[in-house]
Each structure stands twice: as structure tokens, then as C-alpha cells.
Amino acid sequence: MSMQDSAALNARYGIPEHLSFKDAPGGLVVAEVSNAHATASIAVQGAHLMSWAPKDALPVIWLSKDAKLAPGKSIRGGVPICWPWFGPHATEAKFPGHGFARTVPWDVVDTQKLGNGATRLVFRIVHSDATRAQWPHPSELEIHMVVGPTLEIDLVTRNTSSAAITVGDALHTYFEVGDVRQAKVHGLDGCPYIDKVDGGARKQQSGSVTIAGEVDRIYLNSTADCIIDDPVLKRRIRIAKQGSASSVVWNPWIEKAEKMGDLGKDGYLHMLCVESTNADTDVASIAPGGEHHLWVRYSVEALS
Ligand code: TA6
């Protein structure tokens, strides 16, 4: 069990005027970053980035107004880490959807103020009998974040066993949009996709992705940058990635959103998930002693 409380974390990893650890509801601890370039907040449980806003800009990462912080519970919004599987477990229906990484304790293992004034944070998952019962493969999981004028995230899986392992993972990122009905996602044109709203039918994307109802799609052969055009907030969010050849686009729309209970009133209108994943046939096979990196960089450009 992680023994890092806010006082111990501030003593060892706090950076005056830059990074501090605060007690949050549910007994969680949250890292608060405020530097020359941006602000961000990260729940230590699940190493769950909840917010990122470049200085003088609106939040880029969306967090539900009804998000609940509680031990062992996932937080609605931000950048949930899906690991060591994406979606439902292949054989065990009682195992948590999207794996356990986002709801278990993590340790802070490094923090740094970088030369350009950005903030680097490294978290490592805390394995336990509970996690080993669902994932008996010796492995380490770390997440490296650089909070600056862009947001870089590197999810690193290390195979410390003597056998190859196969991992499904995702940075299940919720982006803030002015009105999802007017947003467009570029970068997926021509990609085959699995339409989970249409019984898993296999289809092919033509042009940009628009949202006029529930959308839940796993795109394959997706290695190019994805770009969210937001004419309401007059900005373009660029999602660059490496180590992932699949992407998920998801919006629950009205009915699903109401059933979820933590998406907030009209929350669905202001969020759009564009997830960088290793999902479906794009799972990551890692040799003994090897590493897999799922890396993204989020940046914002004015929409001229
Ligand atoms: O990535 C899309 C998805 O798999 C949807 O099917 C929906 O279940 C969403 O993830 C949210 O899952 P969660 O477990 O966070 O409620």
C-alpha cells in the first residue's frame, strides 16, 4: 500500500512556488502544478491527471463537475490510465473494465523543475496481492509527465519477467470542447474502425469524425496525429503519439451520459475523448526485460 501522505510528499517531492501536494476529498492526495507555462492537477491514486491548462488559455483537459474522488474509484474526466487491458477483460467479466491501474495506489518517484520552467513528474504503480491476482506477470508501470506549454505523457511498461507479456493500454483522455456537435476530429480518414455503437461492425472512416449522437469507435492503423478542430473555442488541439497504432473516439451522448451519473448536466456537450491506445489487434507484446512506451504530446493552436 502506498504510504505517501501530502506532508511526506511535500517534504520529499514538493518544489516551492511550482509543485505542492494537497489533501483532497476521499482521502486522496493531489499534486498541484503551477509554473510559468501552465497549471495542472494530478491525483496520486491512479496517477490520474485531472486538469491541464496552458497559461492564459482555457482548460484543454476536461474534468466532470460531478467527478467523484474516492479510494479505488475511477475519476470521470482527465487522463485515466487504462492498463494492463483496454475495455472488458478478455475472459474475466468480474475484472474491472480498462484494467486496475487507474484505481490503485501509485507512488511519486521523481519531480523536477526543468530548465525551460516546465515540471516533470514520475509516478510508479504500487502492485499488491489484489493487482497480482488479476495480473500475475512481474512488470513495472511508470508514467512520466511534462507539464509545460504542451503536455507530454509517457506510459512505460517494463517486463521484469522471464516470459513475453502482452499488454493493452490507453491514455483515455477527455478533451474540453465548446460544443461537441460542432467539433471535428481530423487524422483518421481512411482508417478502419470497430463501431461499438453498431454491434462492433467493421467500417472505414471517410473524412473527419463528427459527433451527432453516441460515438464509440476503435480506429486501427491510426498512427498519424489526431487534431480536434473546435470552432466554438476557436482552437485546434493536436494529439501527437508514438507507440500506438489505434485510437478511440468516444462521446456517450445524452442517454448514456445521464445513466453514468458522474458526467454532469450537459457534460457530454463539452467533452470529447480521443484516446491513444494499444487496443484490439494493436496490443503491445513485450519481450522479457523489454519496455513499451505509449507516448503522447498535446498542444493547442489558434484556429485561424
Ligand atoms: O473508451 C471508450 C469506452 O470504452 C466506452 O465504451 C465507455 O465505456 C468509456 O470507455 C468509459 O468507460 P469507464 O469505465 O471510464 O466508464
Interval 93-108: pLDDT, tens:
999 999 999 999 999 9
Nearest CA to ligand 1 atom 9: 250
Q: Calculate how far, in angstroms, residue 9's C-alpha sits from the geometric centre of ligand 1.
A: 31
Residues with Cβ within 8 Å of 31's Cβ and at least 6 positions away in sequence, in order, are 9, 19, 20, 21, 41, 42, 44, 108, 121
The runs of H, that is alpha helices, within 83-237 are 129-134
Q: Tell which wins on pLDDT, 303 or 122.
A: 122
Rounded Cα distance between 70 and 66, Å, is: 12
Query: Is 80 exceeded by the pLDDT of residue 3?
Result: no
Active site residues: 172, 275
Query: Is 60 exceeded by the pLDDT of residue 72?
Result: yes
Most informative mutation of 76, 98, 171 for ligand 1 (most atoms within 8 A of CB): 98
Rounded Cα distance between 29 and 15, Å, is: 16
Q: Calculate how far, in angstroms, residue 83's C-alpha sits from the geometric centre of ligand 1.
A: 13
Nearest CA to ligand 1 atom 13: 97
Whether 44 contacts 230, CB under 8 Å: no
- C-alpha distances in angstroms, 97 versus 2, 94, 100, 303? 23, 9, 8, 36
Question: C-alpha cell of 100?
Answer: 486496475
Ligand 1: lining residues by beta carbon, under 6 Å: 74, 87, 97-98, 172, 196, 216, 248, 250, 273, 275
Give me the domains of the chain, ranges plus CATH numbers: 6-302 (2.70.98.10)
Strand partners for 174: 273
Residue whose grid cell is 499488454:
167
Residue whose grid cell is 491527471:
49
The whole-number average pLDDT for the span 213-236 is: 98
The whole-number average pLDDT for the span 121-137 is: 98
Most informative mutation of 66, 250, 276, 277 for ligand 1 (most atoms within 8 A of CB): 250
The pTM for the full model equals 0.98
Q: Is the dihedral of CA 37, 184, 244, 88 positive or negative?
A: positive
Query: Is 90 exceeded by the pLDDT of residue 264?
Result: no
Query: Is 60 exceeded by the pLDDT of residue 130?
Result: yes
Most informative mutation of 50, 172, 211 for ligand 1 (most atoms within 8 A of CB): 172
| Residue 229 backbone dihedrals phi, psi, to 5 degrees | -90, 125
Which ligand 1 atom is the nearest neighbour of the CA of 250? 2
Q: Calculate how far, in angstroms, residue 197's C-alpha sits from the geometric centre of ligand 1.
A: 12
Query: Is 80 exceeded by the pLDDT of residue 90?
Result: yes
Secondary element (H or E) of residue 275: strand 271-278
Helices (H) and strands (E) in the chain, counts: 3, 23
Nearest to 98 by CA among 171, 2, 174, 195: 171
The whole-number average pLDDT for the span 240-247 is: 98
The per-residue pLDDT for 1 is 44
Secondary element (H or E) of residue 107: strand 106-113
Q: Calculate how far, in angstroms, residue 174's C-alpha sits from the geometric centre of ligand 1.
A: 11
Residues with Cβ within 8 Å of 65's Cβ and at least 6 positions away in sequence, in order, are 264, 265, 267
| Residue 130 backbone dihedrals phi, psi, to 5 degrees | -65, -45
Q: What is the mean pLDDT of the chain?
A: 97
Based on the number of CB atoms within 10 Å of its own CB, is 35 exposed (0-12), middle (13-18) or buried (19 or more)?
Answer: buried
Cis bond upstream, residue 84 (ω within 30): yes
Residues with Cβ within 8 Å of 228's Cβ and at least 6 positions away in sequence, in order, are 175, 177, 183, 184, 185, 236, 237, 239, 272, 274
The whole-number average pLDDT for the span 26-54 is: 98
Q: Calculate how far, in angstroms, residue 284's C-alpha sits from the geometric centre of ligand 1.
A: 20
